[in-house]
Every structure is written in C-alpha cells, then in structure tokens.
C-alpha cells in the first residue's frame, strides 16, 4: 500500500478562504476519483501555513487511475485554477511513500497525526528499514496505537517516516508523554538511531481539516 500527499502553502492574505477551499478540494477529489482524500493543516511545526491532501491507495495503478480522472475533469481543473491565488506561488510538492508496517483501519478518522521523518545513513539501508519497523512496533506496544512505518518512493532517497494518529490533541499529548517516560523506548532510540539514520530527523504535527 502507498500513501500519497500533495502539499501547498497558504498565502498569508487568504488564510480563511484558503482553509475552506482546501476542504472543498478534498471533497471534490474524493468524488471524482473514488479515493478517500483528506485535507490536513500543519500545526505547531516548521511548515506554518502548509496544507496537505493525502490518500492511501492499494497500489500505484489505483493512484494512476485516480490522477488521470482529475486531469480530465474540467470541473476540478477549473477549481484548481480558481484557487491558485490562495496559495504561495508555485506548484507545491508531491510525495509518495510505501507503507512498510502498520495495518490501515478504513474507519479511523484521527483528528491529529504526528509524522516523523528521517533519512537512512548510506550503507545502512537494510538496517534502517528493519529498525524502522522495530521503532513502530515498540511505539505501538507503549501507546496501544497504530504507528505506520513508511519508506519514500519519491523524494530523498533513503527517507523514511513514522505516522501515528490521535482522536484529539489530548490523546496526542498523553501518548507522547508515555513514550518520553518509557526508559526502554529511550534506550532503544539512543542505541541505534545515530548509527542507522542521519542527524536531520524532524517531527511535525497535522490537524485534520476534512
């Protein structure tokens, strides 16, 4: 399975309209493609004003078919052109990740997600992928929540990520506190992360818009 996302940054002059437009476009994309497209706003993170639309697909053929439907939809193209002024100039960024670990609950609608990105050290690809699964499994054992582990199919080579969803911000705070208080979790990270991953990992949080 794959996670696809498209990210653009709102213009400071059109934040309120841009948020409403982002939700509208997620609904429109879902209707046209038949895929479940969600809109997310980046919060308390480096990408202030970033809006991401994301969907999970079983394979690349399904993604191709969905994107082809959008490209021939006059309604979608017109809406995209109409909303261009609400975003900072540019085309934004598409990302594609293969889901290596984590069962997908089709009924889950988390209000918040945390996403951690890291890059595997050269020569440590096998170790980085294997340890990434271990990290996800340990996080699940501590919190009881599903943590997906993903490997980038586009973008930086060797990039990986972990995504965890939360019902609300209170749960996000509570479960993060559990991880920070678990000595085995901290020891596991200290033992290997500096070896298998480069020193540029970052964590971001997103709030669901639709």
pLDDT at 7 over 90: yes
70 — pLDDT class (breaks 50, 70, 90): very high
Of how many residues is the chain composed?
A: 210
| Averaged pLDDT, 86-113 | 91
Integer Cα distance of 180 and 132 in angstroms: 18
pTM over 0.85: yes
pLDDT at 89 over 90: no
The token pair at 19 is: 């948020």
CA distances from 54 to 35, 90, 114, 120, 206 (A): 10, 19, 14, 24, 12
Per DSSP bridges, beta strands 50-57 and 2-9 are antiparallel
104 — pLDDT class (breaks 50, 70, 90): confident
| Averaged pLDDT, 177-196 | 96
Residue 6 pLDDT: 96
């Amino acid at each position: 399975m794959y996670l696809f996302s498209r990210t653009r940054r709102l213009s400071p002059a059109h934040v309120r309209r841009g948020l409403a437009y982002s939700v509208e476009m997620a609904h429109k994309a879902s209707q046209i493609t038949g895929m479940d497209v969600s809109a997310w706003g980046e919060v308390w993170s480096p990408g202030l004003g970033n809006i991401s639309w994301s969907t999970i697909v079983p394979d690349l053929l399904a993604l191709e078919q969905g994107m082809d439907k959008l490209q021939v939809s006059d309604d979608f193209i017109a809406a995209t052109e109409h909303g261009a002024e609400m975003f900072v100039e540019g085309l934004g960024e598409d990302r594609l990740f293969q889901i290596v670990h984590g069962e997908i609950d089709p009924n889950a609608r988390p209000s918040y997600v945390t996403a951690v990105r890291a890059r595997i050290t050269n020569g440590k690809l096998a170790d980085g992928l294997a340890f990434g699964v271990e990290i996800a499994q340990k996080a699940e054992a501590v919190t009881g929540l599903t943590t997906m582990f993903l490997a980038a199919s586009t973008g930086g080579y060797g990039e990986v990520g972990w995504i965890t969803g939360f019902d609300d911000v209170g749960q996000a705070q509570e479960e993060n506190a559990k991880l920070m208080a678990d000595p085995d979790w901290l020891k596991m990270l200290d033992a290997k992360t500096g070896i298998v991953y480069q020193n540029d990992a970052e964590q971001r949080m997103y709030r669901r818009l639709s």
